[in-house]
Structure 1
Amino acid sequence: MILSDKTILKMLENKSLTITPVEKEQIQPASVDVRLGNTFSIVEDMSRGILSLDNEIVYKTITADTYVLLPGQFVLASTMEYFELPDNLTAFVEGRSSLGRIGLFIQNAGWVDPGFRGEITLELFNANRCAIELKAGRRVGQLVFAQLDDTALNPYSGKYQGQRGATGSRVYMDIEAK
């Protein structure tokens, strides 16, 4: 079941869902708007030009209120908001249609697990032929919350728990866990 604005407001009030900072205008009929934070990370250039999923990937991270995303460029960014989801709630990250229409693709693998705590890292790609100026604080997407039929047996406690800022891939840790 997708949560309504009424339920989201009730959960924020009774603190069963945490979103900070959040303003009432961000609460939409069936979602919460997310705003762009001020950290951006790009993969460092490598002499081989090949990213291996078996090795740690090195990122250059900057803090800035404005970032110019060049045509064909990919950057990680963070939400301004920090989230704490209860063990019976999941969320989907969706980009804003008005930004998609100018070629800005926004994703975070689309899914936030029950029990997740942290800022959400967004993957941004400029599919346009023009550069796109990104500004911290701008609405870039929305979170749609869905209630689970029961509390998760194994709520999220993974490698991104508690993340702040644009957090790079930790896929290499999957191999170490085996």
Structure 2
Amino acid sequence: MILSDKTILGMLEDKTLIISPMEKHQIQPASVDIRLGNTFCVVEDTSNGIISLNDEIRYKTIETDRYLLLPGQFVLATTMEYFSLPDNLTAFVEGRSSLGRLGLFIQNAGWVDPGFKGEITLELFNANRCAIELSAGRRVGQLVFAQLDDHALNPYNGKYQGQKGATASKVFMDMDL
């Protein structure tokens, strides 16, 4: 079941759901707006031009209030907000239609597990022929919350728990190669 604004407000009030910082106008009828933070990560080039999923990938981290996303460029970014989800709630990261119409893809891995705590890393891609200027604090997407039918037996406690800032891929840590 997708949560309504009324339910989201109630959960924020009783602190079963934590979103910080947050302003009331971010709450929409069935979602919460998310804003762009000021941390960006770009994959560093490799000498052979190949990214191996078995090796740690090197990133360049940039802290700035404005980032110019070039045509065809991919960058990791972070939300301004820190989230703490209870173990019976999940969320979906959705882009804004207005930005999608400019060719800005907001995520390709937009699932937030029950029990997750941290800032959300966004995967941004510019599919346009023009550069897109990104600004910290700008509304870039929304979280849609869904209630689980019961509490998760194993809430999220993985490698991205507690992340702050744009967080690099840790796929090399996966045990199931």
Q: TM-score, normalised by structure 2?
A: 0.98
Instruction: Tell me how far apart the structure 1 counterparts of residues 58 and 118 of structure 2 sit (CA, whole Å).
Output: 21
Confirm or deny that 1:31 pairs with 2:34: no
* Match of residue 40 from structure 1: 40
* Match of residue 14 from structure 2: 14
2:19 aligned partner, one-letter code: I
Gaps of 5+ in 2: none
Judge conservation of contact 1:93–1:108 (CA < 8 Å) in 2: no
Moved over 3 A (4+): none
How many residue pairs match? The answer is: 177
Aligned with 1:76: secondary structure?
Answer: strand
Gaps of 5+ in 1: none
Instruction: Tell me how far apart the structure 2 counterparts of residues 160 and 119 of structure 1 sit (CA, whole Å).
Output: 9
Aligned with 2:75: secondary structure?
Answer: strand
1:94 aligned partner, one-letter code: E
* Match of residue 76 from structure 1: 76
1:115 aligned partner, one-letter code: G
Judge conservation of contact 1:108–1:121 (CA < 8 Å) in 2: no
The structural deviation recorded for 1:108 is: 5.0
Instruction: Tell me how far apart the structure 2 counterparts of residues 98 and 53 of structure 1 sit (CA, whole Å).
Output: 34
Judge conservation of contact 1:31–1:144 (CA < 8 Å) in 2: yes
Judge conservation of contact 1:71–1:128 (CA < 8 Å) in 2: yes
* Match of residue 169 from structure 2: 169
CA RMSD of superposed structures (Å): 0.9
Identity %: 81
Judge conservation of contact 1:36–1:140 (CA < 8 Å) in 2: yes
Instruction: Tell me how far apart the structure 1 counterparts of residues 54 and 123 of structure 2 sit (CA, whole Å).
Output: 21
* Match of residue 63 from structure 1: 63
Instruction: Tell me how far apart the structure 2 counterparts of residues 8 and 108 of structure 1 sit (CA, whole Å).
Output: 25
Instruction: Tell me how far apart the structure 1 counterparts of residues 12 and 49 of structure 2 sit (CA, whole Å).
Output: 45
* Match of residue 155 from structure 2: 155
